[in-house]
Amino acid sequence: MDLEFNKREDQNRLRLSEINRLLSEIKKGGGEKRLQKLRDEGKMTARERIEYLLDKNSDSIEIGAFAGFEMYQEHGGCPSGGVVVVIGYVSGRQCIVVANDASVKAGAWFPITGKKNLRAQEIAMENRLPIIYLVDSAGVYLPMQDEIFPDKEHFGRIFRNNAKMSSMGIIQISAVMGSCVAGGAYLPIMSDEAMIVDKTGSIFLAGSYLVKAAIGESIDNETLGGATTHCSISGVTDYKAKDDKDALDRIKNIMKSIGTNEKAGFDRIESFPPKENPDNIFGIMPASRAEQYDTFEIIKCLVDNSEYEEYKPDYGKSIVCATARVDGWSVGIVANQRKLVKSGKGEMQFGGVIYSDSADKATRFIANCNQRKIPLIFLQDVTGFMVGSKSEHGGIIKDGAKMVNAVSNSVVPKFTIITGNSYGAGNYAMCGKAYDPRLIVAWPWADLAVMGGAQAAKVLAQIQESTLKKQGKEISEEEHNEILDTISKKYQKQTEATYSAARLWTDAIINPTDTRKWISMGIEAANNAPITEKFNLGVIQV
C-alpha cells in the first residue's frame, strides 16, 4: 500500500471513530442518572429491552440513532429522538422493534420522535415486516404540541397507520412497559396483541391529576389504568406480565408461532465475501470530497467475490451500471464514477457529474433491473448534473428527467448508500430520500446539500450585491467577505452527515464495512413484500 493510501486510511478512520464516539454518547439516552432511575423502578432501559428481545448473536441494524442530534438543545436535547428503532430477528423472524426511551422526558414525543415512528411504520409497511412496540411514553411533548399534534405527518398518523397496517395483514405486537398516556394509549391497543407489565405499566386517556381536575374523581393511577385493571376489568390488554423480561419472553413466544407469507422472489445464491478486503475502503476514499478515485475499487470491496458484470462499459462512463451479488443476493448497481473519464466521443468528463449519456444509460439499466426483478443499489457520490451551454443544448434536462422518471417509477426495492457527495439534483436522480429508498445510509464522511458551501456563498453574495446595486449602494470588500464567510460556515455545518441523520434524511451513518450487512438485511426484508405494481415509465422524455 502506498503512502497516500495510508494517509487516507488514517483520516477516514478518524472520521469513523468520531461518529462512534458520538454514538456511544447518544446511546446513554437521557443520561446515566435517568437510566438508573428506570432500573430502580424495576424496569429495563429501552436498549436493554431490545437487546434481551433480539436473538443472541444475530445481525441487527439501528434506524435513526442520530435522530434529534444537536436539536432541541433549549429543551435539554432528544437523543435518538427519544425512541430506539432496530431491525433484527426475534425467534428467527426478521422484524422491526420500536422502543420508547423513558429516560428522555419520560418518552414524550418531540417532532422528530413522530417522524421516526412514522419511518418505522413505513419500513414495516413497505416490507411487510412484523412490528413490535415496547411502549413507555408520556405522549405528546407538550411544549411543542403545535409541531407534533395535528398535521398529516404528526402523532395522529400513527394510529391511522396502526389501523391500515392491521388491515394489510402486518403483524403488530405491543408491550406496555411504563406509562402510556393520552393519545399514546391507542398505539398498543390498536396492535394485534398487547401485554402490560404489572405495577410499572399503565394506560389511560387522562391521568389521576387530570381526572380530579376534570370530573372531581379521586383515584390513583394504578387503580385507574394499571395491569390488573386492564387485564381483569376493562379488557383493554390481553396479558399481564410479571416484569419486563416476562413481557419480552411472551413476545418471543408469539413470534415463534407466526407463519410465512408469499415472497417477492429476489434471486439469492450462496454468499461469498469480496476478494478485495472491505477495510480497503478507508484507504481508497479520499479525505477530501473534491478528490477523484476509481469507483470500481469501491464496488470490488462490496460485492461477492469482487465480481460484477458491467452494463455498457464504453458508454456514459460517468455512471457505472453493473449487476453483481451482495451476500448472495442478485443486485443492480448504479454508481457515480468518481474519476475523470473519456466519453465515447473523446471528450473528458468530470468524475461525480451526471452527463446526458450517463443519465441515458442509467435509465435503461434501471428499466432492465425492473424487468428482471433485481433490487437496485445506488452508490451516491455525486456533485450534480453537468452545467453550461454545451450540456444544456445537448438536452441534459430531458436526460436527467428520464433518469428521475425511472428511479421514481421503479417497482423493485431501492437502497441508497451515500459514499461521498450528495449534491443538488444528483441526490434526486441517484435515489435520495424523496425517491423512496427502502433504506438510505451514509458513510461517515458523506456531504449532503443542495450545493457546496463555497458555491452557495458565491451565488448568494452575487444576489445580495446585485440587490444593493439596484438600490444604488456599493458593497465593500469587507462586507463581501463577511457574507461569504457566514454562508460558508452555515453550509458546512448543514452539509455534515450528522446533520442529515439528525433529521432522518438518512436512516443511519454506518461503518462502510457494514454496507453489505445493511444491503443484505434490507433485501431480506424487501423479499417479504411481493411486487404487485407493474413497472410503467409513463411519458418518457426521449
Ligand X SMILES: CC(C)=CC(=O)SCCNC(=O)CCNC(=O)[C@H](O)C(C)(C)COP(=O)(O)OP(=O)(O)OC[C@H]1O[C@@H](n2cnc3c(N)ncnc32)[C@H](O)[C@@H]1OP(=O)(O)O
Cβ 158 to ligand X shortest distance, Å: 9
Cβ proximity to ligand X: between 155 and 423 the closer is 155
Cβ proximity to ligand X: between 93 and 105 the closer is 105
Cβ 177 to ligand X shortest distance, Å: 12
Cβ proximity to ligand X: between 184 and 226 the closer is 184
| Dihedral of the alpha carbons of 382, 287, 520, 415, in degrees to the nearest 10 | -20
Quote the cell numbers at residue 289. 470530497
Handedness of CA 120, 35, 149, 434 (dihedral sign): negative
Distance between CA 60 and CA 72 in Å, rounded? 28
Of all helices (H) and strands (E), which one includes residue 324?
Answer: strand 319-326
Quote the cell numbers at residue 386. 453537468
Cβ 132 to ligand X shortest distance, Å: 21
Cβ 203 to ligand X shortest distance, Å: 11
- Closest residue to ligand X, judged by C-beta, is 183
CB of 475 closer than 8 Å to CB of 465? yes
Quote the cell numbers at residue 257. 408461532
Cβ proximity to ligand X: between 145 and 513 the closer is 145
Cβ 189 to ligand X shortest distance, Å: 13
Torsions phi, psi of 153, nearest 5? -100, 30
Cβ proximity to ligand X: between 40 and 533 the closer is 40
Cβ proximity to ligand X: between 31 and 394 the closer is 31
Cβ 181 to ligand X shortest distance, Å: 4
Cβ 107 to ligand X shortest distance, Å: 7
Of all helices (H) and strands (E), which one includes residue 126?
Answer: helix 111-127
Burial category of 214 from C-beta neighbours within 10 Å (exposed 0-12, middle 13-18, buried 19 and up): exposed
Task: Provide DSSP, 83-112.
Answer: EEEEEEEETTEEEEEEEE-TTTGGG-B-HH
Cβ 100 to ligand X shortest distance, Å: 10
Task: Provide DSSP, 209-246.
Answer: HHHHHHH-----HHHHHBHHIIIIIS--SSEEESSHHH
Cβ proximity to ligand X: between 209 and 476 the closer is 209
CB of 178 closer than 8 Å to CB of 135? yes
Q: Which residue shows C-alpha cell 444604488?
A: 472
Cβ proximity to ligand X: between 148 and 241 the closer is 148
Cβ proximity to ligand X: between 185 and 418 the closer is 185
Quote the cell numbers at residue 25. 454518547
Cβ 130 to ligand X shortest distance, Å: 24
Cβ 207 to ligand X shortest distance, Å: 5
Residue 530: how many CB atoms within 10 A of its CB? 11
Cβ proximity to ligand X: between 89 and 109 the closer is 109
CB of 281 closer than 8 Å to CB of 298? yes
Cβ 183 to ligand X shortest distance, Å: 2
CB of 68 closer than 8 Å to CB of 82? yes
Contacts of 330 (CB under 8 A, 6+ apart): 266, 267, 268, 269, 323, 374, 375
Cβ 116 to ligand X shortest distance, Å: 16
Q: Which residues bind ligand X (CB under 6 A)?
A: 76, 105-106, 108, 138-143, 155, 179, 181-184, 207
Cβ proximity to ligand X: between 113 and 363 the closer is 113
Planar angle of CA 104, 243, 246, nearest 5 degrees: 115
Provide the H-helix boundaries in 295-414.
Answer: 295-302, 356-371, 389-393, 396-409
Cβ proximity to ligand X: between 145 and 488 the closer is 145
Cβ proximity to ligand X: between 142 and 459 the closer is 142
CB of 224 closer than 8 Å to CB of 218? no
Distance between CA 18 and CA 25 in Å, rounded? 11
What does DSSP say about strands 93-100 and 131-137: parallel, antiparallel, or unpaired? parallel
Cβ 336 to ligand X shortest distance, Å: 43
CB of 485 closer than 8 Å to CB of 527? no
Longest distance between any two alpha carbons in the chain, whole Å: 84
